[in-house]
Structure 1
Amino acid sequence: MSKAIVISQPGDSSAMQWQDIELAPLGANQARIKHTVVGFNMIDTYMRKGLYPVELPAVLGVEGVGVVEAIGADVSHIAVGDRVAYMTREPGAYAEQRNVDAMRLVSIPDGISDEVAAASFLKGLTVWALLTESYSVKAGDNVLIYAAAGGVGSLMCQWAKALGARVIGVVGSGAKVALAKQYGCDEVINRNEQDILATVKTLTNDEGVQVVYDSLGAATFETSLDCIAPLGSMVSFGNATGAVPPFNILGLAARGSLKLVRPQVFAYVEKREHLERGAAALFDMIQREKMRVEISQRIPMPEAAKAHDTVESGNTTGATVLVL
């Protein structure tokens, strides 16, 4: 038996219950992981609320870090005792133990702690996919990044700066402006006090930015499109303010033949070689100290509801991890 955070129906954080679960027998291509730290991600809240439907009852969580306890008969690239990180499309990480497809597991290099790995693996691979695959950021690009002091945003700003971009961050409070600058932003817009579009136009001499990375969704989608220079790109990758409503594609042509991408990181790491390439790039950024992973909340796994409530309040910065 193992314990896990389980939801039986969509709802608020009260739907999350810490209870016993029974693990299935280990498959030939699987490994059993004893979690030490599990990363919190906004997708966990989308699944909890039913925005992203999951089969119920469900154990939440899509990334974890821990030690390999057992391996299936056909597993050869990892061994019992290895420290590993993983991310999966299917939830199940908010648990003491989990059986995982061994091909999703990546060994954690020495010098990177379990907490840092858990706080950065899915978010860091998301940033890798966004900055190099969804749109390839180039030196000199004007890049607009929302939630610049948040878990994903803080990593993205640092990585984009390392690529040579001019980073314009958007934050939701004055208290986060200084943090966003610490994460590499050249300019920071407080969206509660400043007009995003007018400020972007001023900062870019009316040209606009080459790419927008919008994690807020419904509340900012149209504004984000208006911030983009002709032939630029819109990368809409989150729903923090709700899902983007139906959109007339002709609006892209009217704004200067824009490109619109709605990525999800799992598609970019579906193949093992892509997963390894992204993980290597992420760990290299951390080990070379080009990217600092800020952990703002460390919450015991049984109290995972507290993590959801606090992050959804919009009052956090950096990453949140659940510890066991």
Structure 2
Amino acid sequence: MAMPGAGQLSPALVPLHIQTRRIPQGCDGNGHNVIGHNVIHNVMASVTEVHMSVSYELVVQVVEELKRKGERVSVRTVHAVIKQGWVSIQQHLQKYREQAVSADEAESAELTPALLKLLREEVTKHRRDAVAKSAAELEVAREEVEDLLREAERLTAEVETATSNLRAAEVERERMAGEAGQLRAHAEKLQERLDEERAAAEQGRVNLARARLQMSGNEDLIQALRQDIDARRAEVEAERTSRVASDKDRAAATAALEALQDRLSDLVGRVQAAEAERATLQKGLESERALRHAAERERDTAVERATAAVARAEDLATRERELRTRL
């Protein structure tokens, strides 16, 4: 008689998390976790193979062939030939042995009671040995199944870790893509501002050119005024000289001198106004140049940040592809 549960894999041998747990979705085109699914499929296929049914006649045929070759007959050796139906093989082999014992008992019906008792004890001993051996083989099979289940659990944990890393990489890539988009938009705004600054600088250059032309004309005028001042000073000096010679003309010379001094003061004021206008135009030009340089530096900084963000997004995409390839 077979031991209770011998050759069978009760549900208790299969951990509850394998019976009920759903493998998290993973990385193939259909969104399934291919590695974890294949491992669990292989484990369940092994369990199914243990319980697969084979015919009694096939088991008897293999047993007779093993006996004919002089090989040892056991559940493992028969299973090595048939390759499936561990439970059925054990049941059929037990039945075969019981029938063989019954046949031997029928043949030994004419034996003496003492010899018959000895024969039965021997048969019982062999049966116990066979049952113990079958139990040992079953224990080995259980250990192998448990090893497979532990390996499945380990692979499942690895798949979950890889999936978590992949999701984190996807989140980081999306964040970097958003940041890159913001940087591009900021760069576009800076480019627009730079274009406006360039247009303003161009207009400033035009105004400066006009001012320079005007200043050039003013310089000519200033030069003419200076020459006129020098001439008037010469005239004043001449008048002063002539005033010594003629007291009659002193009053007229004094009036002419005052008139010349008034004209000289007016010319000096006009020269100072022209120089102040030139200084103002020069400051405006320098301010426009500083604004243009600042806008160009800000644009270069934004372009560098956008380039770095794009490079980082491409690096994340490469890491994602590598993770998908590994999975």
| TM-score between the two structures when normalised by the length of structure 2 | 0.21
TM-score, structure 1 normalization: 0.21
Larger radius of gyration: 2
Q: Higher RCO, 1 or 2 (CA under 8 Å, sep at least 6)?
A: 2
Which structure carries more helix by proportion?
2
More strand by share: 1
